[in-house]
Amino acid sequence: MNSIEEIWQQILDIIARDITPTAYNTWFSDCKAVDISDCKLVLHTSSDFKRGIIVNRFGNTIRAALYDLFSCDFELEVLAGDELLDYTQSQGKSRSPYPEMEGYNFDNFVVGPSNKFAHAAAIAVANNPGKVYNPLFIYGNSGLGKTHLLLAIGERILRERPQFKIAYLKGDDFTNELIHSISTGTGEEFRGKYRSMDLLLMDDIQFISGKISTQEEFFHTFNSIYEAGHQIVLTADRPPREMATLDDRIRTRIEGGLMADVQPPDIETRTAIIINKAASLGLVLPKDVVDFIAESITSNIRQIEGVVKRLTAYKEIMNDSITIASVKRAIKDVIRVGNYIPTPEVIIEESARYYSLQPNELRGQRRSKNTAMARQVSMYLMRNLTNLSLVDIGNQYEGRNHSTVLASIRKVEDMIKSDPDMAATVRDISSNINSRS
Ligand code: ADP
Ligand code: MG
């Protein structure tokens, strides 16, 4: 017995012996244990009335049960309704903060046909972590609300179950931490840390595909958390079957849980998002402006937000009234940024990362097989994803001219044609690059 839930369940079992099931349900169905420390138990229930009953009618039983368990006289505090929020916030200061979660919750997530399923699944998981859909896997293109839903789950669970150990990390954070723990000989700590989580929120797991040691470690982490009955939520920019170099065991695990996709929003949802976002920035947009934005930006909510934010800035900085002309300007700015051409640095970084190398090893002269392969792939991707000339590409590397670059690119082209694994690798790296837009 160690978790607070288990302790509370034991006490509930004792209480249940003495009262009818109806009475038990009435008073305890929504009573949860929030915190236990220093001979004090904190509970939460929905109303002030229920609190009174719990304290006056059951307080002694609860304290007696705690005394039996811990040989210590316990103080009992029962929070009701909204008090939990204040309590969590006051405690939150001493707990590990999750600044990422700020601003992301279910209240400011607009639900429409495109995300209804993913939203419902996220709510179910947030209300019953570890009990319903495990793992929950949310996937879809960039800018459609995956991270928002992931963090909203975390935000709700943190608020309602402040004792939960929660980890939020991105696929590449996991890799970086793992590598760091190996190089500093702290592998055990790394393992212990993640495997003991009550809730693992891992964003953008496409970044771990292809990396063998990371996937191995992730698989074991996944199993420990899953087998302990704790919740895992994952996101990615594509379904598992399209992550060609994802470990089959991880794929199978994901497919055994619930997979929910997010699609581009329809026009009504886009309209609602624009109005909500503007309202949260203190802006009321004329209807023709709302409609114009909703019709112009169709496939990326991040871009919709970008336009609304820009309009707010125009209004503040230039005291402009918002017209269709200013909206067109804002849209042009946002779309230009959105039409993503990766830099050579990003391409080299992602190629290096995939092969577990450092960017400077790719830029340098090392000739090991792995390094040469990563370098050639990065040249191929630079040719395909940017407008750089062969000479420009050669300048990114030590001692490469346009003809060595061309030879490398040809070689990768041939390999892609003859080897499906190679084609998959290049596709994965290129998706990783694009998801950094
Ligand atoms: P993804 O992780 O899928 O790339 P995000 O979750 O980061 O996308 O969403 C991009 C931006 O759009 C965020 O600022 C998010 O708050 C907002 N957003 C996405 N979907 C919605 C929605 N349904 N309602 C309100 N805001 C949304
Ligand atoms: Mg995201």
Q: How confident is the model at residue 1 (pLDDT cuts 50, 70, 90)?
A: very low
- Indicate if the pLDDT at residue 94 is higher than 50: no
147 annotated ligand binder: yes
Query: What's the rounded mean pLDDT across residues 354-379?
Result: 93
- Which residues line ligand 1 at a C-beta cut-off of 6 Å? 108-110, 115, 142-148, 273, 301-302, 305
Q: What percent of the chain has pLDDT over 90?
A: 51
- Indicate if the pLDDT at residue 336 is higher than 80: no
**DSSP label at 238?**
S
Q: What pLDDT is attached to residue 306?
A: 87
- Closest approach atom of ligand 1 to CA 103: 16
Best-predicted range by mean pLDDT among 225-234, 308-317, 329-338? 225-234
Cβ contacts of 344 within 8 Å, gap of 6 or more: 382, 386, 388, 393, 396
Q: How confident is the model at residue 86 (pLDDT cuts 50, 70, 90)?
A: confident
Q: What pLDDT is attached to residue 228?
A: 94
Q: What pLDDT is attached to residue 319?
A: 64
Q: What pLDDT is attached to residue 42?
A: 92
Secondary structure, 3-state, 107-167:
CCCCCCCCCHHHHHHHHHHHHCCCCCCCCEEEECCCCCCHHHHHHHHHHHHHHHCCCCCEE
143 annotated ligand binder: yes
Query: What's the rounded mean pLDDT across residues 433-437?
Result: 76
**pLDDT tens column, 167-190:** 998 887 888 888 888 888 888 888
Query: What's the rounded mean pLDDT across residues 269-296?
Result: 92
For residue 265, which ligand has an atom nearest its CA?
Answer: 1
The pTM is what? 0.64
Q: What pLDDT is attached to residue 337?
A: 57
Distance from residue 254's CA to the centre of ligand 2 (Å): 18
- Indicate if the pLDDT at residue 67 is higher than 90: no
- Cα distances from 47 to residues 20, 29, 77, 258, in angstroms, run 21, 12, 14, 34
Q: What pLDDT is attached to residue 378?
A: 97
Instruction: State the Cα–Cα distance between residues 187 and 356, nearest whole angstrom.
Output: 17
Q: What pLDDT is attached to residue 427?
A: 83
256 annotated ligand binder: no
Distance from residue 101's CA to the centre of ligand 1 (Å): 13
For residue 300, which ligand has an atom nearest its CA?
Answer: 1
**pLDDT tens column, 238-267:** 999 888 788 889 999 999 999 999 999 999
Q: What pLDDT is attached to residue 197?
A: 92
- Residue closest via CA to ligand 1's atom 13 equals 302
Which residue among 139, 147, 148 is best mutated to probe the pocket of ligand 1, counting the most ligand atoms within 8 A of its Cβ? 148
Q: What pLDDT is attached to residue 243?
A: 84
**pLDDT tens column, 343-364:** 999 999 999 999 989 999 999 9
Distance from residue 202's CA to the centre of ligand 1 (Å): 16
154 annotated ligand binder: no
- Residue closest via CA to ligand 1's atom 14 equals 302
Distance from residue 143's CA to the centre of ligand 2 (Å): 7
**pLDDT tens column, 32-51:** 998 887 788 999 999 999 99
For residue 269, which ligand has an atom nearest its CA?
Answer: 1
- Indicate if the pLDDT at residue 385 is higher than 90: no
- Indicate if the pLDDT at residue 138 is higher than 80: yes
Least confident of 147-161, 170-184, 274-288: 170-184
For residue 119, which ligand has an atom nearest its CA?
Answer: 1
Closest by CA position to 243, among listed 256, 254, 257? 254
Q: What percent of the chain has pLDDT over 70?
A: 95
Which residue among 104, 206, 301 is best mutated to probe the pocket of ligand 1, counting the most ligand atoms within 8 A of its Cβ? 301
Q: What are phi and psi of 165, to 5 degrees?
A: -90, 120
